Structure 1
């Protein structure tokens, strides 16, 4: 397989993302089932993630280079042009290869005419790079690699931090691990990593977290297959810390993880506490990932595929006994984890935010009815937008007389946000996350 085919395959994967009709969520599976050789898969993945991460700027440059916009049916050629620009700007690919191999990849789509278009655009960019970049960077969304609507939301919500949020979003997140304390201590596992030649350090705020100095394949992690360790961002691990006060005083608490896939928080709760846990998710396919995760970690939970929202709640999975603890890791904009899912910049629309906030409100109302008096509900999102976080909780408390905010006021991480706690993405640390702990009055 010639190098051009890897670029054509990357362009093929990017087409639905550029058209706003897909994401990179199945990228690893797509690569595994493809004819792309294993040694080339990292290159394809880097192209796809890189184009999405830098898309606003690449798109602006492409618009300057093209004499006229490409037709909708030629999104594959647009993808190749963006791939070529990304290689020249951000990869160590020899410039001549970035140009010739990317242009030649157009033939894989039966569009030989496009080889001249791509070749001409990329060669012109090489000649006029400084001037073209200076021109497009006058526009803040282009210079900061974010859609204009998203940039405005960040500026309104975080006037002192919006630029830092963008900069953190534009850097790939560090690889963070979570030790399974049923099997190993963090100190012991750090020593095992040192022995394996993997540099790492304890996370600053998550008790079970370890941050690797450099990412690696999970097969290189000692004890991964045996369940000693999992990959999970530090922010996501704080869920178990916040629920520790209400789960350590009893071994028989009924716990519901209402939006559980892919299962990281489900597993962490079971690693930390002896509880009767039910894991729920609306997507039966994604729920299988929860089962796989629990099997690797030698943990057990009751799994149900069902919609927990009030609009279409199917309560056939529920036996009617209230839960002592409910975790609602609500569907959200994902604006706190863009660095790990850069396709969010293309897949998410401004109109989605109101729809997501409405869904979050329905989930809160529906699940509150299943919470026992005196019980605790932990609301979480990987968003940095107040309408999904502090404002959402403020509105829920206003319409729910028996709900009381119970988020600790002495947390060593994040910042107070209404009745909850907000973490903003940190360039070399945790993702962006929001938590609010609520108690149901007896």
Structure 2
């Protein structure tokens, strides 16, 4: 693998792409440490030191921003608004006929959908930035912090608007950097930035586990987490690469004097067809009642019950609800992202058929049957992986940023595999051996 890296850097055009990607990553990480104007940075750092393991409701967004959210930097919102906008547009494509027509138009239609995604990203950034500023002003961004109310000393309307505009502009810059990587670098830009944001928190989270450990000065817990993490990476790679290949045969057609078709191919149905989307959906949905209870400031029974069961993240009610939501959203997302009837119609149009299955409706029913069977283990796998941080929180007394598990490990392994495959394909075009053997 190291030899393949050396060969990649010896190729001039591939070296330029890799260096360009590394340069964008450096700019992205620098922006994650530049504070927003209007905050007291010393008080923010004091609150960070006092509440390292108490990130509460903002843990997911803080992870996607590479720790920039709780430090209230210009890239505090990170790529979360873009991810949310992309998911919303993807869901609306199924509901709104106009968006569905644009999706079928090819590259021109996809360019318009991308433009709509950018507009929605800016709108969501303004909304989330306003919420973050309001939370920082109220002092509820950090739990049990003595100087939490002094994070924003000047609470005038001008300073508030300046902070919101700065964070919204930071989100737009992050979106632009991601698109630059996609156009001129290696891999999908947004996925690379997401990968870097999550990986940036790994060293601190692992060292915190060592400091919180009690056996052999914490080194035993640290070693167990590393071994467990490697095993989980192997498991995620195995499941993410697993697929059910449905054979498809195309009949021969004579057009003039030439024969077309007669080839054999397959439809790859992944075990985890939904990816990490169900975990993000379930996490976001469970944050809503906790946010309502936190900002209501009410001492009613419903607010106390929500705070006791959903805020800590280790209550049995939270665990069961989280698991069931992941399973539900896995089936839901697969149902809207893969249409068996559309695939069956396209196969029938071009003379394709599954051996032993009649074309048309029987093919759609067969595809739906196979998809439902492989989605069950995929959804259960997602639920179990997502619960690993909760189990670590209880057993190892680790903080909620336990690295090997949940959304973080799924995204890191998935993005890593796709990026390596892209580098591999470019190396193979130049007759190199590449990464995979």
Query: TM-score if structure 2 supplies the norm length?
Result: 0.24
Higher fraction of strand: 1
Higher fraction of helix: 2
| Structure with more contact order per residue of length (Cα contacts < 8 Å, sep ≥ 6) | 2
